[in-house]
Amino acid sequence: MKKHTALFFAASLCFLACSKSQELQKLDGLKSSLATATATGTVYYVDPDGNDSNAGTSDSNAWKTIAKVNTMTFSPGDQILFKSGGVWNDTLRPKGSGSAGQPIIIDKYGGEARPVINGGGKVNNSKTLLLNRVSFWEVNNLEITNTVPAGTTYAATGIMVDGGNEATPSSNITIKNCYVHDVNAAKDFQTNFVKGTGGIIIAGKTDDVLVQSCHIKNCAVEGMRTVGTGKNIVFDNNLLEYIYGDGIVMAGATGGCKVTHNTVYKACMNTNSYNYAGIWTVKSKNTLVAYNEVYGMTGGGGNDGMAFDADGYDANSPTDGDIFEYNYSHDNNGGFMLFMYNSHNITVRYNVSVNDIGTTGKKKLFLFNGSTNNNHQIYNNVFYIINPGGTIFHSAPYGTYSNNIIYAASTATGLTLCRGDNGQSIPLTTQSRFYNNDLYPGSVFTAFNWGTATRSNNFYDDPRFVNPGTGIGFPVANGYNIGDTSRCRNAGIFIANNGGIDFAGNSLPTSGNPDVGAFQHAVISQAGSSLADAYVRDGSYAGTNYGADSLLVVKSDATSYARRSYLKFNFNQVGTASVNAANLSIYCAGTGMTNTVKIYSTAGKTWAENAITWNNAPKDTTLVGQVTVNAAGWYNMDVTSAVNRELQAGSKTVSLLLMNTGPFNSNGYMTFYSKEAPGNKPVLQLTY
């Protein structure tokens, strides 16, 4: 059954749905700029059973060796095709450059199996495939190894693109669907160790590089990285596993660079003090890190081992404006994220982190390594903490934290807010700001020493995740969506330039209050003039109208002090006989004690906001439900049955009554914002 989500309030607004597919379209646009046109050059064939004396221009007249290929200088549109399943023990260093629309292509022919090229690691700093100072190349469907012989420690790399230091960078290089494995370069503290070695390395000055759908396994030192400078470098949809050092590093990125849709598993496998991370950026400008899954980090050194890192380790390596969004991080012993001191304006949003405080080392979720920049924005994330003895922050955090859910499971005993290298708890400073976060359970988070940090509108309710758990794949992360009755619904603070979509691709609001957490259930705007609401008061005030008040009051008390509130919504645009869900979201401005609000529908719907009083208010009510109110904040009330009754009766209007039916109590009041309030107005959300 097709579902639609709509909001009904004063003036009808229409929002165009934005989805993850739009992000993919943006990436496809960049890929198309690197795509090949129909080649018009010469096609060359290479077969282990061929002969280097052949012309090499047909499969029956193929060359035999890579040495022969290395003697050639290729031209735009040429293709070099290796026999499917063939094996060569050599290193490939092709020469020549293609041109726009006519790249030089390396690929396979004659079957599904990839050709295998074993570099052999025979000399220090070897590369099995080296594209050296060339442009407009495509490399597809190769299997690459570079295994250094036992007893020797050499630097080694599987595939390297080296733009050198030329005035014109190497550009328009594409590497797709390659399997790079068993590259055992010298490791840290070994002879000939070079960190920029491993699976696929992009070095020197390079622009417009795409590495896509490759599998990198059992490699040292790095999985995939840049070690030079460049723009429009994209690492997309790659699988990296069992990597000794870093999974993916984007270094020297000058604009348009992306790390997207990759899976990094069991990187940071070192057990010594050398620091590595899952995915990180350094000396980077406006790099996008999105839709990646990072898990199973167990090593990474004394400080690192986390899923993500916005680096900047010295004055010459600033990282500025990078965005980390829509990622799923889980089961990483070293934590979720590191901010180095020379990182600036970093945005971390709409990510899901599960079990990213480990059981050894610093046991931290975030690490701030000397960072004093307070312009980082960390918002609308989910952090689910499982292991005991951890800390949320190692060293004093800097930045603004908004609309996040930080959930400490019952197993996460001994959790601290922030501690230093000596293991002692330290208070936060004014450089940290916390707005509209759900910090659960309150018994843990209210006991923390928040120091002088700015805090506003944070709350401590169970977020009511729909199916929280641990496991592999983005469907597991979707279990950290929030339920219909979660207080996180509509409880966030609006943030401009928020990316437009949530973790699951749902549209975000263009104004009003978003949901707290990584999932958005409704596009919310302020209620308008077609919504009627007012409270009424009994006794000597029974004839007084309060329709212009900015508050709705609910109170159980003696005569002349009791109050009830009425709200009315129209939903003329609904064309179905029923809705799947209807929720009234209403903001409590204050309460004197824990109270229960009962929600009724009224058969009478003709009351007017500027005329309703206790004396003429409808009394023909049907109980719909109830909600417990214990603090200021948003509350969601399920009114599905009331809306469906109206629809089945042919009506497109619902009238609701809020009452406290408990014992009289002078503190038994609750105040809610009405449509006359400057913000946080009531909203009826329908899903149908």
**DSSP classification of residue 334:** T
* pLDDT value of position 19: 40
Average pLDDT over residues 530-558: 94
565-590 pLDDT per residue, tens: 999 998 887 777 887 778 898 999 99
Average pLDDT over residues 438-449: 97
Strands 581-591 and 669-673: antiparallel
Average pLDDT over residues 320-330: 98
195-217 pLDDT per residue, tens: 999 999 999 999 999 999 999 99
Q: For tokens 């050599």, name the residue.
A: 90
Amino acid at 50: G
Distance CA 408, CA 448 (A): 13
Tokens of 602: 């009224």
- Whether the CB-CB separation of 34 and 174 falls below 8 Å is answered with yes
448-506 pLDDT per residue, tens: 999 999 999 999 999 999 999 999 999 999 999 999 889 999 899 999 999 999 999 98
Is the pLDDT assigned to residue 10 strictly greater than 90? no
Percent of the chain scoring above 70 in pLDDT: 93
Distance CA 679, CA 512 (A): 7
Tokens of 163: 């733009």
The number of residues in the chain equals: 688
Expressed in percent and rounded to 5, the helix, strand and coil fractions of the chain are 5, 40, 55
Q: In 3D, which of 687, 188, 219 has the Cα closest to residue 484?
A: 687
Q: In 3D, which of 119, 141, 121 has the Cα closest to residue 66?
A: 119
373-425 pLDDT per residue, tens: 889 999 999 999 999 999 999 999 999 999 999 999 999 999 999 999 999 99
* pLDDT value of position 583: 85
Helix (H) or strand (E) holding 385: strand 382-385
Is the pLDDT assigned to residue 361 strictly greater than 80? yes
| Confidence label for 39 from pLDDT (cuts 50, 70 and 90) | low
Distance CA 31, CA 657 (A): 56
Q: For tokens 């004394």, name the residue.
A: 302
Is the pLDDT assigned to residue 26 strictly greater than 90? no
CB 82: neighbour CB atoms within 10 A? 30
Is the pLDDT assigned to residue 319 strictly greater than 70? yes
Distance CA 598, CA 344 (A): 49
* pLDDT value of position 372: 78
Helices (H) and strands (E) in the chain, counts: 5, 52
The angle subtended at Cα 65 by Cα 59 and Cα 66, nearest 5°, is: 110
51-88 pLDDT per residue, tens: 999 999 999 999 999 999 999 999 999 999 999 999 99
> Which of 26-35, 183-192, 301-310 has the weakest average pLDDT?
26-35
- Whether the CB-CB separation of 171 and 207 falls below 8 Å is answered with yes
Peptide bond into 48 cis (omega under 30): no
92-111 pLDDT per residue, tens: 999 999 999 999 999 999 99
The angle subtended at Cα 350 by Cα 346 and Cα 351, nearest 5°, is: 85
Distance CA 357, CA 344 (A): 24
* pLDDT value of position 25: 47
Q: In 3D, which of 178, 72, 182, 194 has the Cα closest to residue 134?
A: 72
| Confidence label for 127 from pLDDT (cuts 50, 70 and 90) | very high
* pLDDT value of position 618: 96
- Whether the CB-CB separation of 419 and 391 falls below 8 Å is answered with yes
589-619 pLDDT per residue, tens: 999 889 899 999 999 999 999 999 999 999 9
> CB burial class (10 A; 0-12, 13-18, 19+) of residue 575?
exposed
Tokens of 37: 């046109």
Average pLDDT over residues 342-365: 97
From residue 633, give the alpha-carbon distance in Å to each of 367, 376, 488, 495, 627: 31, 25, 9, 18, 13
Tokens of 63: 């060359």
Is the pLDDT assigned to residue 432 strictly greater than 50? yes
Strands 319-320 and 279-282: unpaired
Average pLDDT over residues 432-447: 98
* pLDDT value of position 688: 59
Could you tell me which residues come within 8 angstroms of residue 586 by beta carbon, excluding any fewer than 6 positions away?
552, 567, 634, 635, 637, 672, 673, 682
| Confidence label for 522 from pLDDT (cuts 50, 70 and 90) | low
Q: Compute, in degrees rounded to 10, the torsion defined by CA atoms 300, 303, 306, 311.
A: -110
Distance CA 220, CA 156 (A): 8
Q: In 3D, which of 358, 301, 346, 351 has the Cα closest to residue 326?
A: 351
Average pLDDT, the chain: 91
* pLDDT value of position 2: 34
* pLDDT value of position 485: 86
Average pLDDT over residues 131-153: 98
* pTM confidence score: 0.78
